[in-house]
Amino acid sequence: MATGNGQMASERVWDRFLTEQDRAHVASSTRRAKGFGDRPALLLIDMYRWVFGDKPEPLLESVKTWPGSCGLAGWRALPSIQELLAAARAAGIPIIHTTGADESAMRTWARGTRWSAEAEGDAAAQSRTRRKYDIIDEVAPLPGELVIRKSSPSAFWGSPIVGHLVDRQVDTILVGGETTSGCVRASVVDGCTYRFRMTVAEECVFDRHEATHAVELFTMHEKYADVLPLSDVLEYLRRFQSGQPALSERIAAVA
Across all residues in the chain, what is the average pLDDT? 89
Question: Residues 108-124: what's their mean pLDDT?
Answer: 59
Query: Which residues on neighbouring strands pair with residue 226, listed in sequence order?
Result: 199
Task: Kindly state whether residue 251 falls inside one of the protein's structural domains.
Answer: no
Total domains in the fold of the chain? 1
What residue numbers bound the domain in which 141 lies? 15-241
Task: Kindly state whether residue 248 falls inside one of the protein's structural domains.
Answer: no
Task: Kindly state whether residue 209 falls inside one of the protein's structural domains.
Answer: yes
Q: What is the pLDDT of residues 52-61, one digit of tens each?
A: 999 999 999 9
Helices 210-223 and 185-193: angle between axes, nearest 10 degrees: 10
The pLDDT-based confidence of 13 (bands split at 50, 70, 90) is: very high
pLDDT of residue 125: 83
Task: Kindly state whether residue 25 falls inside one of the protein's structural domains.
Answer: yes
Distances (CA, A) of 115 to 37, 70, 131, 209: 41, 15, 13, 20
Question: Residues 36-52: what's their mean pLDDT?
Answer: 97
pLDDT of residue 129: 85
Three-state SS for 212-253 is HHHHHHHHHHHHCCEEECHHHHHHHHHHHHCCCCCCCCCCCC
Task: Kindly state whether residue 208 falls inside one of the protein's structural domains.
Answer: yes
Task: Kindly state whether residue 47 falls inside one of the protein's structural domains.
Answer: yes
For residues 166 and 162, what is the distance between their CA atoms, to the nearest angstrom?
A: 6
SS3 category, 172 = strand
Q: What pTM value is reported for the model? A: 0.88
Q: Answer yes or no: are the C-beta atoms of 165 and 195 closer than 8 Å.
A: no
Task: Kindly state whether residue 247 falls inside one of the protein's structural domains.
Answer: no
Q: What is the pLDDT of residues 124-176, one digit of tens each?
A: 888 888 899 999 999 999 999 999 999 999 999 999 999 999 999 999 999 99
CATH number for the domain harbouring residue 162: 3.40.50.850
Buried b (16+ CB within 10 A) or exposed e, 217-247: bbbbbeebbbbbebebbbbbbeebeeeeebe
On the question of pLDDT at 88 being above 90, the answer is: yes
> Which uninterrupted H or E stretch holds 176?
strand 172-178
Three-state SS for 48-70 is EHHHHCCCCCCHHHHCCCCCCCC
SS3 category, 163 = helix
Q: Answer yes or no: are the C-beta atoms of 176 and 205 closer than 8 Å.
A: yes
The pLDDT-based confidence of 45 (bands split at 50, 70, 90) is: very high
